[in-house]
Structure 1
Amino acid sequence: MIASPHPDASEISVRCAVITVSDTRTVETDQSGQRIQQLLNQSGHQVGAYAILKDEPEQIRSRLMTLGQDPDLDAVIFNGGTGIAPRDTTYDAIEGLLEKTIPGFGELFRWLSYQEIGSRAIASRAVAGVFCNRLVFSLPGSTNAVTLAMETLILPELSHLVSQIRKC
């Protein structure tokens, strides 16, 4: 295990929205969205909102703008729509709204993905950043990719990143 360079004094519980972007998934078939919620809850965090959206850029942007105004949310985790197919528009919809990006997230995610799936990892447009003082993560829609991102990158840093955003 890699040591934390500057551990936080205390872990905080983070309240998150989980948004699945898919033209075909339903609440019953959304394994990735369910996995994100499960991992958040197991780690002591809370799910404050959950939805499935069609892969329509305006719907995605509108939902992020609405969630950005919710005073009870600290983070938004999207899954789905990060590839390069014509209907993969999550990255395009949210990247321009981010006030700050966290380039290391996408870089590390693609590196870790490469170790699991090889060169196909180059097609991932996973991204993270800050919008309206909330963390925003956008992950691929596969359950394996969601698990990888959550367990190795997001959950180990979620409390720390939120505490950084809260600093005035």
Structure 2
Amino acid sequence: MSVHEHEKHARENLKVGVITASDTRTPETDESGKVIRTLLQDAGHLVAYYEIQPDDSEKISAAIVTNLENLDAIIVNGGTGITARDGTTEVVKSLLDKELEGFGELFRMLSFNEIGAAAMMSRAIAGVRHGKFIAALPGSPAACRLAMEKLLIPQLGHITYLLSK
């Protein structure tokens, strides 16, 4: 079956969770979380869970594990850079059964086209845990918009269809 034939079976109306990993953001100042939630809703998906978690590996891990079983996917933003507090990538990687290496590669390629060599510092990651999709994006609203519009919104229904087989 070709990619286009598979995409005809893409799932709609997904239940997605959004986690913002930040020590400083509040629901009022969480621009990246808002971008992700708005784009998901505009694509016809339900944001069934949203939370801001501190940059704390144990709390981020617990939030993902606790909520993923009731969702089709979780998208985390923040904590994917190279500072000492950036641990989201390690958390997500430790939870995955399968990593989708192409996600990070494509995200960095698209980012390079927009911001240049600084894209190499992104450690965006995506993969599968127990048949559910997880992605971790940078905390920048522009980066979240890029990942959502160019990668996740176009493929999330197809990914979850393949995971349901």
TM-score by structure 2 length? 0.95
In the other structure, the counterpart of 1:22 is: 22
Partners of 2:11 and 2:160 within 8 A in 1? no
Structure 1 unaligned regions, length at least 5:
none
4+ residue runs over 2 A deviation: 3-7
- The total of aligned residue pairs comes to 163
Q: Are 2:78 and 1:74 equivalent residues in the alignment? A: no
For residues 93 and 133 of structure 2, what CA distance do their matches in structure 1 show? Answer: 13
Which of 142, 145, 165 in structure 2 is aligned with 1:144? 142
1:45-84 to structure 2, matched below 5 A, reads: 45-70=45-70, 73-84=71-82
Following superposition, the deviation at residue 94 of structure 1 comes to: 1.5
For residues 5 and 125 of structure 1, what CA distance do their matches in structure 2 show? Answer: 32
For residues 134 and 111 of structure 2, what CA distance do their matches in structure 1 show? Answer: 20
For residues 45 and 150 of structure 2, what CA distance do their matches in structure 1 show? Answer: 16
Q: Deviations over 1:121-166 (max 9, x none)?
A: 0010000001122100000000000000000000000100000000
Amino acid at match of 1:51: E
The farther-off stretch of 59-68 and 104-113 is 59-68
Amino acid at match of 1:35: V
The farther-off stretch of 46-55 and 128-137 is 128-137
Following superposition, the deviation at residue 103 of structure 1 comes to: 0.7
SS of 1:29 mapped into structure 2:
coil
Following superposition, the deviation at residue 4 of structure 1 comes to: 4.3
Following superposition, the deviation at residue 69 of structure 1 comes to: 2.6
Point out the structure with the larger helix share: 2
For residues 85 and 25 of structure 1, what CA distance do their matches in structure 2 show? Answer: 17
